[in-house]
């Protein structure tokens, strides 16, 4: 009988959001009793925490893209390629806007739900 109880307890733990395992954006560990809806980076998370993790990942990705756009822009200017520099400036503007939208979405998500 005891092994079945253990299996049941482990299964119950896996069906609950595992946000306390993750440390998103340097925040203190969280606790969440919501049921698992998605797997993000191998962690079963509730819908809200999965969305939060995805938005944080998008923000990081846009930051990396901006870094590389800056590098290539400098190189285009060094090689006297104003056409390429203009295209990269357009990409920079789009990346900044996309990153800001992700920040705004994350702010809304965090303000709507208690931690």
* Span 1-27, pLDDT tens digits: 455 444 444 444 558 887 765 555 555
Query: What pTM was computed for the model?
Result: 0.72
Strands, E, within the chain: which ranges? Answer: 38-40, 43-45
Q: What is the pLDDT of residue 12?
A: 47
Specify whether the CB–CB gap between 72 and 54 falls below 8 A. Answer: no
Domain range for residue 100? Answer: 2-112
Specify whether the CB–CB gap between 54 and 40 falls below 8 A. Answer: yes
Residue 30, phi then psi, degrees to nearest 5 = -110, 165
| Domain total in the chain | 1
Tokens of 64: 């990396």
């Amino acid at each position: 009988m005891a092994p079945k109880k253990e299996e049941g307890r482990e299964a119950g733990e896996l069906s609950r959001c595992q946000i306390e395992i993750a440390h998103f954006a340097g925040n203190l560990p969280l606790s969440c009793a919501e049921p698992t809806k998605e797997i993000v980076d191998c962690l079963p998370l509730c819908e809200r925490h999965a969305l939060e993790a995805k938005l944080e990942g998008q923000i990081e990705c846009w930051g990396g893209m901006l870094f590389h756009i800056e590098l290539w822009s400098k190189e285009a200017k060094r090689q006297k390629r104003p056409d390429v520099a203009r295209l990269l400036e357009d990409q920079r503007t789009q990346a900044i806007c996309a990153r800001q939208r992700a920040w705004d979405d994350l702010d809304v998500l965090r303000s709507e739900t208690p931690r």
